[in-house]
Amino acid sequence: MEDLNRKQTDADHREDNQEVIKGNPDNLFYNYNRELFYSFDKSKGFTKKVDYQYTANQTIIKQQWDLAEVRLNEVKRLVIAGKRSPIAYYMEKKLMDVPILAAYMNHSTWKIRWHLTRTGFKWMKQETLEHYAEIFEISPGELKKPSFLTNFSEN
Q: What domains can you pick out in the chain, each with its CATH number?
A: 2-53 (no CATH), 66-154 (1.10.260)
Is the pLDDT confidence value at 61 over 50? yes
Is the pLDDT confidence value at 93 over 50? yes
Note the pLDDT of residue 38.
85
Note the pLDDT of residue 133.
96
Note the pLDDT of residue 31.
59
Is the pLDDT confidence value at 25 over 70? no
Per-residue confidence at 132, pLDDT binned at 50, 70, 90?
very high
Cα 7 from Cα 25, distance rounded (Å): 25
pLDDT averaged over every residue in the chain: 81
Q: What three-state secondary structure class fits 52? A: strand
| Under 8 Å between Cβ of 61 and 29 | yes
Per-residue confidence at 4, pLDDT binned at 50, 70, 90?
very low
Q: What is the pTM of this model?
A: 0.68
Is the pLDDT confidence value at 136 over 80? yes
